[in-house]
A and B are shown apart, each in its own frame.
Chain A
Amino acid sequence: MLPTESKKALSFKRYIEEGDLVIVYERNDVMKPVKVIKDGVLQNRFGVYKHSDWIGKPLGTKVFSNKGKFVYLLAPTPELWTLVLSHRTQILYIADISFVLMYLEVVPGCIVLESGTGSGSLSTSLARAVAPTGHVYSFDFQEQRAVCAREDFEKTGISSLVTVEVRDIQGQGFPEKLSGLADSVFLDLPQPWLAVPSAAKMLKEDGVLCSFSPCIEQVQRTCEVLRSYFIQIRTFEVLLRTYEVNELKVDTGSMIGENQDADNEESRPSKRKHRSNEDDTISHDNSYNATSVVMAPPCSEARGHTGYLTFAKLQCLYLSLKGWIYNSTSYHVLDTL
């Protein structure tokens, strides 16, 4: 999914090969990840699609089933992956993910720690942000989830960027070997305040921590602990409102028109029929004047709450370059991990 070298960038990777992961797109809300295998077939309500027909085609094109119905084959991105991955836990969605990446100040080469791994929705986006030289260390206390996440990262081709370990971060804290190496730490835990002291130890000076919690009580307790180690503590809620786009016929005829008698009323339906054959804006009767307009109302339902995002920066205590040099020597330890 992510290019680890320039040759693998999307713009160079235009044709589907055997072994590729593609996203089969039926509709906005019907998508499926499929690994292309030579003898493979995909079956859905539109019929049977042979993988062998796909190989050699450019991504982003239509492919047809035996019944002549088509789907699109797309290159996987973390955004599409978030929509198709199997939910082992509640996952983070695009608005939260985007905001977290921005506020954690994650750039290529960064070391990011994350707990829990969950379904790996955020991990995938973190991996994209640290690529090609950085690394994501992800921890989950459940063996099964860690195994599934590793399989997923293998499937999406990001396993070289993400290491998943089984560990109870609330109980044990992050592993000692990562001390002072992390640029950012992300916590999605039931009791994040328990992990704050360890997170502070892992971070470089001025490093950023983010804690995601659905309940305000969790935020409250976390912030109390954060104040001992961190500055610039800020809590946000970010949501998305989506809009539909509809083309509508709107009557733009004036209300005050020429006087009409019953005959005129009778003739209207036939006029409308007549108009449908012509350009739809032409009307001789200014009491009914249909204009086609594109309008965008908000969707009537939306996700109302995901979680609160609390960000904080580790206090900077070093006075001189010395402290930093100490930090940078420990940085090299990383190679031996």
Chain B
Amino acid sequence: MEHSKEDQKINKAQDPNPRFASEGCSVLLDVNDGDRLVFARLSGGAIFKIGNTNYSLKPLIGAPFGSLFQVETGEDGSFLSRILPVKKESTSVNVIDDDARDNRELIDDNESQSLTCEEIEAMRREGAKGDEIIEALIANSKTFDNKFQLSQEKYKLKKQKKYAPKVLLRRPFARSICEAYFKKYPARIGFIRVDALSILLTMANVTAYSDVLVVDMVGGLVTGAVAERLGGTGYVCNTYKGDSASSVDMVKMFNFTDKVKERIVHSSINELSSAKTAPPEENNQQESSTCDMVEDVSVTAEARVDDIAVRESKIIKAPQPGVKASKEAVEMWKENGFSSLIMAAQDQDPWTLAKDVLPLLSYSAPFAIYHQYLQPLATCMHNLQQGKMAINLQITEPWLREYQVLPSRTHPHMQMSSFGGYVLSGIRISTT
């Protein structure tokens, strides 16, 4: 078995998570404190666009996750440069209470800034740093001094975002991947908000050495999140109707080691529920065709999601996630049943799926079913109750509110996501 250098390093240190961004690994770039979240695969030639300028991602290779970069201008143009955060002294509350300035003198006539666009561009060409431009903007603002202290801070922040954008190098995790997709392409993950995903994982008791059955029709988000919690033990088996497994491409965004990847498998519902005889030749054929299909989808999907030049991804290619479950594994599951189930299937009726899939679980196995709509889950729950197939049934809808916490200015965010999906959870029981 060949392991990359990075893997060996990780194994040696027994660190459950990689601490450094290495060449070829997947990273999450967080621009200006969450304003923009972009996935990228690091390579010497990878390019990242902020505003109208392209930046090479080379400076990020080898940097620890959590490091901060800022745009700087040098002789060869702009580039990303690592900066160390400045220790901030906490602002005194009293200053704010005593501040009597307000916006009564403020007139929105678009004439308060005397610095023109051309002048700013000229400064940039001469290699002025972002911070210097901001200083110049403040010096040339007629209204800045009259502003309330908090508005001054806001003004500075706004200008910083524009003229001196900061990029935070983040490690992709189920949490950040879900958040990034929910923000940008919620439909692709079936509108699963991060709190709903966390409830799915909890209610399905996902832990090391468990054999988790999933019906993942949300691009691999659930499969990846489960694999992350299995840490290279047990199995996450994605099951599907018909002949081809649903794409679980998102799994590639997690930086899984080979040990973890080996535990991601798929198997059709027919194979899992049918009698023990299945012609082996047919299986092999199916495997290769499935892989091809997954690959096709991946190239386009990645290019769209990453919103970045991913041409490089062809050079350093992550292996396709998910192989067909081995015959031994399938036999084992037929014998013992799965230890839990998570379903997140868009455009599918949960009851239709549940009645086929639930019998594949061990007795006393917990399950969690996600759906974007309430009614199909209500029907599913009603039928499970009537059929006495499960107990401890509950439909929940998580509600998540973020707060701005600042001295004398603490309040909930003005905008919030008002919907993150419904979860039906329960425990399978023996009907006899």
Interface residues of A (CB under 8 A from B): 2-6, 8-12, 14, 25, 28, 58-62, 72-75, 77-80, 94-95, 97-99, 101-103, 105, 107-110, 125, 128-129, 131-134, 183, 204-206, 216, 219-220, 223-225, 227-228, 231-243, 245, 247, 294-296, 298, 308, 310, 313-321, 323-324, 327-328, 331
Could you tell me the distance in whole angstroms from the C-beta of A78 to the nearest C-beta in chain B? 7
Determine if A109 and B403 form an interchain contact, defined as CB atoms under 8 angstroms apart.
no
Q: Judge if B85 is at the interface, Cβ distance under 8 Å.
A: yes
Determine if A94 and B202 form an interchain contact, defined as CB atoms under 8 angstroms apart.
yes
- Majority secondary structure of chain A interface residues (helix, strand, loop or mixed): mixed
Q: From A61, A205, A223, A242, give the contact of B363 (CB < 8 A).
A: A61
Q: Supply 5 A–B pairs (Cβ within 8 Å), ascending by A.
A: A79-B205, A98-B198, A102-B174, A328-B12, A328-B13
Q: Which 10 residue pairs are nearest across A and B when measured between Cβ atoms?
A: A60-B363, A108-B231, A60-B364, A206-B66, A109-B16, A316-B66, A296-B378, A102-B198, A59-B364, A98-B198
Q: Judge if B399 is at the interface, Cβ distance under 8 Å.
A: yes
Distance between Cα atoms of A197 and B336 in the complex (Å): 49
Determine if B19 and A240 form an interchain contact, defined as CB atoms under 8 angstroms apart.
no
Determine if A10 and B17 form an interchain contact, defined as CB atoms under 8 angstroms apart.
no
Please judge, given known A-B contacts A109-B16, A206-B65, whether A11 and B362 are in contact too, CB under 8 Å: yes
Could you tell me the distance in whole angstroms from the C-beta of A161 to the nearest C-beta in chain B? 10
Query: Quick one: which of B49-69 are within 8 Å of A by CB?
Result: 62, 64-68
Q: From B175, B195, B229, B427, give the contact of A74 (CB < 8 A).
A: B427
Determine if B198 and A60 form an interchain contact, defined as CB atoms under 8 angstroms apart.
no
Contact partners of B362 in chain A: CB under 8 A: 10-11, 14, 59-60
Choose among B89, B363, B382 the residue with the greatest number of A CB atoms under 10 Å from its CB.
Answer: B363
Contact partners of A9 in chain B: CB under 8 A: 209-211, 234, 339
Residues 176-219 of B, flagged 1 when their CB comes within 8 A of A and 0 if not, give 00000000000000000011011101110101111100000000
Contact partners of A11 in chain B: CB under 8 A: 210-211, 333, 336-339, 362, 365
Determine if B410 and A220 form an interchain contact, defined as CB atoms under 8 angstroms apart.
yes
Please judge, given known A-B contacts A314-B66, A328-B15, whether A10 and B364 are in contact too, CB under 8 Å: yes
Distance between Cα atoms of A58 and B364 in the complex (Å): 9
Determine if B229 and A129 form an interchain contact, defined as CB atoms under 8 angstroms apart.
yes
Could you tell me the distance in whole angstroms from the C-beta of A20 to the nearest C-beta in chain B? 12
Distance between Cα atoms of A224 and B375 in the complex (Å): 44
Q: From A128, A237, A296, A308, give the contact of B374 (CB < 8 A).
A: A296
Closest to B403 in A: A235
Determine if B19 and A324 form an interchain contact, defined as CB atoms under 8 angstroms apart.
yes
Determine if A206 and B374 form an interchain contact, defined as CB atoms under 8 angstroms apart.
no
Contact partners of A310 in chain B: CB under 8 A: 405
Given contacts A105-B173, A108-B230, A109-B16, 14 further A-B contacts (CB under 8 A): A11-B333, A58-B364, A60-B364, A94-B203, A95-B396, A183-B16, A206-B19, A216-B410, A235-B402, A238-B401, A245-B378, A296-B381, A313-B66, A318-B64
Query: Quick one: which of B380-432 are within 8 Å of A by CB?
Result: 381-382, 385, 391-407, 410, 412, 422, 427-430, 432
Determine if B364 and A79 form an interchain contact, defined as CB atoms under 8 angstroms apart.
no
Closest to A239 in B: B399
Please judge, given known A-B contacts A107-B17, A240-B399, whether A324 and B64 are in contact too, CB under 8 Å: yes
Distance between Cα atoms of A125 and B198 in the complex (Å): 12
Contact partners of A220 in chain B: CB under 8 A: 405, 407, 410
Distance between Cα atoms of A220 and B363 in the complex (Å): 47
Q: From A131, A228, A231, A234, give the contact of B208 (CB < 8 A).
A: A131
Determine if A28 and B399 form an interchain contact, defined as CB atoms under 8 angstroms apart.
no
Contact partners of A14 in chain B: CB under 8 A: 336-337, 362-363
